[in-house]
A = this chain, B = another copy of it.
Amino acid sequence: MSATTALRSLSINNINPHVKEAKYAVRGELAVRSEEYRAKLAKGDTDLPFDQVIAANIGNPQQLDQKPITFFRQVLSLLEYPPLLEKEDVLLNQLGYKSDVIARAKWLLKTVGSVGAYSASAGAPGIKESVARFLEERDGFPADPKDIYLSGGASSGVNTLLHVICASPKTGVLVPIPQYPLYTASLSLLNAKCVPYYLDESKSWGTDIEAVKGAYQKAVDEGTDVRAIVLINPGNPTGASLSEDDIRAVIEFAVEKKLVVMADEVYQTNVFVGKFHSFKSVLRSLQKADAEKYKNVELASLHSISKGMVGECGHRGGYFELCGFDPEVQEQIYKFVSISLCAPVIGQCLVELMVNPPKPGEPSYELYKQEYDGIFSGLQKRATALYDAFKKMEGGSMYLFPTINLPQKAIEAAKKEGRAPDEFYAFRLLDATGVCVVAGSGFGQKENTLHFRTTFLAPGTEWVGRITKFHEEFMNEFR
């Protein structure tokens, strides 16, 4: 305790203990050190053994080389400065804007009024209608705008849903491990219980329903009131996608135990192998076959503009759709979101553009398609390069959450520094190569296993080679 602490209202010992408990490794000490290295390099420092920091700790495509989609940003420029719409000829003939850009901007302005005005609490009605049409086309089932809530990124949607679900310190939520640490951090803040179920590394990090059932039973036996299950599909950090059978098994289990299904589907367009199946489409198919049995399944599915080919993290946009929720509960959700007034309106507009991009035959379509496909194949190429690199690494498994098996000497060295072994490894990796990853412990991992998570957004693949070279040297040092 510092000498002055007793003179203040707040000290580390008397603030909200749940804030203290919350862990968020994606932007923790390692990330802070990488920012220091970045600042050093920017000042022309040449002491470091690398000349570039690679932020593979967080999916932030536009900080790296991913260019925004032209159609999206042209529309946004008009929304920010509507007087440009009075100069259509300049836009069309001198600035390369197409007529569909202008038409969309006019429509969005009519819908939101001004992007500087608060929208309705759950989002601008016209934009929610667009999202509903997108969901209908994606799933082949109706969607109702009143069940759609626009949010400031998916994080804010998760925060809303967990706030409503977590009724007491006994409330438990099933969360896949490894997971994106938002879920564990939010549950800590809400003083509720994270009920971990382990994904199966031997089956490409698949969701094993038996593991879910086991985790549920163990929690219930310990007195936990398990109320919901989180699925990250496709998975973060593992990249695995759920099959229709897996999804059905989860829904069956949710019916049996009356669990809210929270389907985090923000990576729905990042599928490089196999196919994405939405929880909603599988649920509606089941309901078609047996309406009575499935009619009360509570599903919340989340999406975001931060991921995929859109990659607009900084704009903080997203939405969630509710199916089967009690109307009285939905009223409370509405009240909760209204306390923070509304999601950023320009982010809401980007949600609209994401779900309703240019269509074949429209003036902006060709460029849109070209940019979209270019980003997709770039991501695919880097995913493959990392996959291949990790396969070659001593003790390394595949996937972008690779296992590392560290020698005993390294584990002891880590202990001496007061760090978990994978954390120790990640710090050494950063110091040696400038590549910032996240230690597996930040995402959760089975006991006695070690991993790290890396994104594959950084430009080029040269830095992947830096990782394998470091790994070799590290293993030799501690052998």
User: How far, in whole Å, are A315 and B152 apart by their CA atoms in the complex?
Assistant: 11
10 more CB-based (< 8 A) A-B contacts, given A12-B332, A24-B335, A155-B341: A8-B325, A9-B228, A10-B329, A12-B328, A12-B329, A22-B339, A62-B113, A62-B116, A90-B95, A316-B343
Instruction: State whether the Cβ of A389 lies closer than 8 Å to any Cβ in chain B.
Output: no
A159 — nearest CB in chain B belongs to which residue? B340
CB atoms of A10 and B325 under 8 A apart: yes
With A8-B296, A260-B9, A344-B347 already in contact, the answer to whether A332 and B19 are too (CB < 8 A) is yes
Instruction: Pick the contact of A164: B4, B10, B112 (CB < 8 A).
Output: B10
Interface residues of A in 287-346 (CB under 8 A from B): 295-296, 298, 311-316, 324-329, 332, 335-336, 338-346
User: How far, in whole Å, are A59 and B145 apart by their CA atoms in the complex?
Assistant: 26
CB atoms of A19 and B312 under 8 A apart: no
With A329-B15, A345-B315 already in contact, the answer to whether A116 and B68 are too (CB < 8 A) is yes
CB atoms of A81 and B87 under 8 A apart: no
Stretch at the interface among A118-126, A127-135, A244-252, A428-436: A118-126
Give every chain B residue within 8 A of A236 (Cβ-Cβ). Answer: none
Please give the distance in Å from A2's CB to the nearest CB on chain B. Answer: 7
CB atoms of A81 and B76 under 8 A apart: yes
Give every chain B residue within 8 A of A24 (Cβ-Cβ). Answer: 335, 338-339
Closest 6 CB pairs of A and B: A314-B345, A77-B81, A62-B114, A76-B80, A62-B117, A27-B338
Complex A-B: 13 CB contacts under 8 Å: A4-B295, A8-B324, A9-B165, A10-B165, A10-B325, A16-B164, A22-B336, A60-B117, A73-B80, A80-B80, A84-B95, A115-B314, A117-B314
A337 — nearest CB in chain B belongs to which residue? B27
Instruction: State whether the Cβ of A446 lies closer than 8 Å to any Cβ in chain B.
Output: no
